[in-house]
Structures are given as structure tokens and as C-alpha cells.
Chains A and B, each alone.
Chain A
Amino acid sequence: MNLFYCFIGAMLGTLIGVLPGLGPVATMAILLPITYYVPPAGALIMLAGIYYGSQYGGSTTSILMNMPGEAASVVTCLDGHQMARKGRGGAALAISALGSFFAGTVATILIALFSSPLAHVAMQFKSADYFSLMVFGLIAAVVLSNGSIVKAMPMLLLGLLLGLAGTDVNSGEMRYTFGVEGLMDGIDFVPVAMGLFGIAEIICNLEEKAKGGSINRVGSLWPSREEIRRSIPAAIRGTGIGSLLGVLPGGGALLASFASYAVEKKISRTPQQFGQGAVEGVAGPESANNAGAQTCFIPLLTLGVPPNAIMALMVGAMMIQGIAPGPLVMTQHPDLFWGIIASMWIGNIILLVINLPMIGVWVRLLQMPYQVLYPIILAFCAIGVYTLNNSVTDLMIAAIFGVLGYFFRKVGCEPTPLLLGFVLGPMMEDNLRRTLLISGGSPMPFFERPISLTFLVASLLVLIILILPNVRRTRVDAFRE
């Protein structure tokens, strides 16, 4: 019976998650009421199914329509959508599904075998280490940008500032809310992403179309042998990265796809392909994302720390069942623990079975002439943004970011660093504040703690490697002038 709930959850999650504008969070919010009609144990499993389904659906919109439904999908848009533009959309979807399945399987095994030691390692991370990890993540965002670094940095800063908007948890002060009630809880990710990626993309496409370009070409639906060959090592690396980062309580999984993309770009022999449709740029991050999404169950089950709103829902559901997450949950409730783990893997299989055949459907759906497609996409975006919080303010935010997104594209500023800064901003400030509070204003903890120092040094190295070629190039140009 529970298997049935898992299947239904996965199916619904995918179907709703595929609609542009409805990312995993929105999908779960919409489908949550359905779980009320289901007995509690089944509801938990159904929720998990919806969660994975919406993530798979989300990568579909990222690849086919360049619309990220959640923070981690942003990376998939980068090369996944470029692959789609070159007619390799079906292949990108297949690679994404297979990579995610592989990652999910490995992650499930890791959880089954190594929960305790992994949780123990995760507990070594303190606020200084988190901060440095995030700094490293932000530098990775700059690596991600294909444009100029000088333009990526202020986008990052803007993202950080936007992330700080809302009520400051520490002092209760309302920052950058301009007295608007809808902004008191901060700006939501979905309106920003929809505006910057969805609306701006549509507007730019309309301009391009007026000049007679074509958007939707479709090649074969299955990845070529070459693509599979290149994806396998990327998927393995991505799984490793995702599994490790996912274990960190408090949102390590977020960084997983960004870190994987940065790694793939750095170790690739053809880095200039990234941003143009490099298949490793899809395989690695998608695997990392799924691995992280699964291993983040470890801190959830053993420490009770949910990395995001969705997991918080699960914790709540578990507590209703009378299960308090904690280090003893494995021994006290082995049947539930292993039940969840088993359902995770089964969920992955179900999703693979559902999604691989559906790839053909989605790709064919998108072969509709663009003039029919774009009003539909726009409408789903608008409805999706609205249903998030039943908020009119969110739609205005999406509209504003639509204008901004258009401007940014015209002046050559990449939106990706902005989104990453946006997501990491509040957490960075929180960890920074906590570290400085304990140290009394001294920055020493960042350099004294080995983990923190490692990340900071790594960030510096990456930054130097990035800047050096540019400096040399500017010098050459100056000489020529």
C-alpha cells in the first residue's frame, strides 16, 4: 500500500513540478493537502515521493525552458538549456534522470551504512567553518559565470543584499522592506528566479524571434555514446560531492550542485564548452543535487536538523507519528528508519521508470510554435508565483525582477551569482555574526579552525587562478593600445 502512495506522490510531484513556475517548494505546498487524506505513515512516504518527483520535474523546466524552480536547479539551466537549444534536450533530460538515479542509489547505500560516522563528522562543523564553506561556495559562483568576473562580483553582492531583506532575526529590525507587508518575511526565491530567468528569458526570446531566430530544435531523445562516456565520471564526482555536502546540517546540499559545476569546469579539458552545452555540466550537478538531497536525511534523522522548509515538514510529520529525530532514532525506531531509506531508493526507481518514457512527451510538447508556448509559460509562471504564498507582492517582485533580468542580460551581467548570493546571504550573515559574537569581534576563529582555514585558502587560490589570466590579458591589451 505504501508503495502505491510513493508512486502517486512521485507521479503527482513530477506532473506539477514540470509546470514552469512551479518548483519543488510550490509543488509540495500545492500537493500537501492531498496527504491529509492518507494515513500518517503513508503520508510521510507520499511526501517523500512528491519531493523527489518535483525535483525531477524541476530539472525538466530548467533544461527545456531555462527556468529554475529552486536554487539548486539554477546550475542545471546553465548547460542543460544550452544542450536543449542545440537539439540535445532529450539527451540532457535522460542524463539528468540517470545521473540522479545513480546518485540516489549510492547515497542510499551511504546512509544505510555510514549514518553514524557521517553525522559525527558533520557535527565537527561550527559556525566559522560554515561561513568559510559558504565563502568558498560564493567564489565557486564566480567560477560559474562565463562573463567577466568584475561584473559577477557586484551581482553576488546584490544577491547577498537581497537575501538580507526582511526582518532581521537577530534584532527584529526590518531591513529593506519599505513598509511593505509582503516583504516582512524576506523576498522569496521563486519570484526572483521567475523574473530573472523566466520573464526576462521570454522577453529576450520575443526580441530575438522578431529577428527570425529559431528556439526549439529536437535531435535524438537519447544521449549519444560520447555523451554517456563523458557523463559517467562527472556523475561519480558529483555523487561524491553531493553526498559529502548533503550531510552538513543546515543546507550543505544547496551548494552541492554549484560545487560540482565548478569542479567539472575546472578539471575539464575543454572548459570553454561550459555554458555552451557541456554534458558534464548537467551530469555532475544533477547527481550532486540528488545525492545531497538524500544524504541530507542523515542530519535530519540523527540530529533533527532540517535543511529546508520541505524537510521541516517531514520532521513535523514524524513528530506527529511520535518519533523524535535524534541520535537514537536508528535504534529506537529501526522499522521507520529503514522504511524511509527503502522508500527513498524505491522512489528513485519509480521516478526513473516514470520519467524516461515521459522525456519524449515533454520534448514534443515543447515543439509547439513559440508564439503559442510563451503565453502559456507566462501564465503558469504567474500562477505558480501567486500560489506560493497567495501573495500579490510576490508577483510584483517577479515583475520587477523581470525588468531587471532584461537589463542585466543587455549589459552582460550574469544572474547566477545573484541567485547564489541571494540564497546564501542570510546563512552567511548568521554564521558570521555567531562566530564574531563568540570571539568578541576577533576574526581569528576563521583562521584558527582547520576546516575553516582550508576553505578560505581554497577560495583564495581559486580567486587567484581566476584573476591571473585576466590580469595578463589586460596588460597585453594595454600594450597593444
Chain B
Amino acid sequence: MVTRLNSDLLAGIFFIITGMGTGYIASDYAYGSSGQMGPGYLPFWLSALMVIFGIAISWRGLRATHQQVIVFGLPLVLIICATVAAFGPLLEHLGMIVAVPTLVVVSRLVGGHRNGKEILIISVALTAFCALVFVWALNGAINLWPK
């Protein structure tokens, strides 16, 4: 994804949206009073400040004169992070023997290093090492095999 938007503008928009989001959620919590701060007191003010800064940064971004092109490599980021998130369920249900090689294979393929032999060696060696350290030596509560 390529964008010509200024980095300041992007950052500013992010903070405005996030600040409004956290503020909205915080409005559900009791505000309390200054003498008896409720759970919503500080989140409200922090969110408000964040929105203000977001506006300031966006303003600076809008006024910027130099051109900027930012490229977001979306497939790379999203796939790797999705695999990390999936690592948990994979580890719990299918064991390390599936989870680790999956992570290795996916990260290598998406990263553009497709040497099949290397991928195989790394997967095997890494899984063996982790099995040795985490499952056998440290008696971890980690499954090596599927349940």
C-alpha cells in the first residue's frame, strides 16, 4: 500500500481516532470526583490529551511542504503477525512439532527466502532445540505432540 499522505498526518489521524475510541470506552466507567477518582477519571483525560496532540500533529502534517511517499508492505506485516497470533492455538492443540515449523516456513516464504532445503533444516533443528530446552530440560508445560 503506497500513500502520499504525510507521516505526521497519518500519525495525527491515528492518535485522534485512538483517543476518541479510548475516550468513548472510558465514558462508560464511573468518573468520580477529583477527591475520589473513579476508574474513568484518568482514562478520560488521557484520551482527551491524546486527541489534542493528534490534532496538533495532523495540523503540522497538513502544513508540511515536502513530498513524502510511504510504502506499507501490508502482506508481509499481516501474514507474519497473524502467524504469531496463531502460534498460540497451534502450540496448544497441535504441539510444538507443528507450531514451530509453521512459523519458520511462513516467515521464510513471506520474507522472500524460499530455499526449500534451508527451510527444512532450520525447521528441524529449531524444533529439536526447542523441544530439548523447553520440553525436556525445563519440564515446561508445553506440548511437543498434538493432543
Whether A407 lies near B14 (C-beta < 8 A) is yes
**B93 → A minimal CB distance (Å):** 10
Asked if A173 and B11 make an inter-chain contact with CB atoms under 8 angstroms apart, the answer reads: no
Give a binary string over B27-42; 1 marks a CB under 8 Å from any A CB, 0 the rest.
Answer: 0011001111111001
Binds B, one of A276-284, A347-355, A387-395: A387-395
- A432 vs B60: C-alpha distance in the bound complex, in angstroms? 33
- Whether A481 is near chain B, meaning CB under 8 Å from some CB there, is yes
The interface bits of chain B over 67-109 (1 if a CB of A lies within 8 angstroms of the residue's CB, else 0) are 0001011001110111011011101100010011001100110
Contacting residue for B91 out of A161, A207, A386, A411, CB 8 A: A386
Which of A31, A391, A396, A411 is B85 in contact with, Cβ under 8 Å?
A396
B118 lies within 8 A of A386 (CB): no
A30 to B139, CA, bound (A): 9
Q: What is the CB-to-nearest-CB distance from A268 to chain B, in angstroms, rounded to a whole number?
A: 28
Shortest Cβ distance from A152 into B: residue? B53
Q: Is B132 an interface residue (CB 8 A)?
A: no
A253 CB within 8 Å of chain B: no
Residue of B11, B26, B29, B50 ringed by the most chain A CB atoms within 10 A: B11
Are B112 and A375 neighbours in the complex by a CB distance under 8 Å? no
Residue pair B46, A173 in contact (C-beta under 8 Å): no
Chain A facing B: main interface SS: helix
User: Of all chain A residues, which has the CB nearest B91?
Assistant: A386
In the complex, A383→B113 CA distance in Å? 22
When the two chains form their complex, are residues A402 and B81 in contact, meaning their CB atoms are under 8 A apart? yes
Which listed residue (A175, A398, A406, A441) contacts B84, Cβ 8 A? A398
* A437 and B103 contact, Cβ closer than 8 Å, known pairs A153-B53, A154-B50, A410-B72: no
Shortest beta-carbon distance from A386 to chain B in Å: 6
Alpha-carbon gap, A462 to B130, bound state (A):
47
**A: which residues have CB within 8 A of B?**
30-31, 33-34, 150-151, 153-154, 157-158, 160-161, 164, 168, 170-171, 173, 175-176, 199, 202-203, 206-207, 210, 371-372, 374-376, 378-383, 386-387, 390-396, 398-400, 402-403, 406-407, 410-413, 429, 432-433, 436-437, 439-442, 481
5 further interface pairs, Cβ-Cβ under 8 Å (given A30-B134, A175-B26, A439-B35): A203-B77, A375-B104, A378-B80, A406-B72, A413-B11
Interface residues of B (CB under 8 A from A): 7-8, 10-11, 14-15, 18-19, 22, 25-26, 29-30, 33-39, 42-43, 46-47, 49-50, 53-54, 56-57, 60, 65, 70, 72-73, 76-78, 80-82, 84-85, 87-89, 91-92, 96, 99-100, 103-104, 107-108, 111-113, 118, 122, 126, 130, 134, 138-142
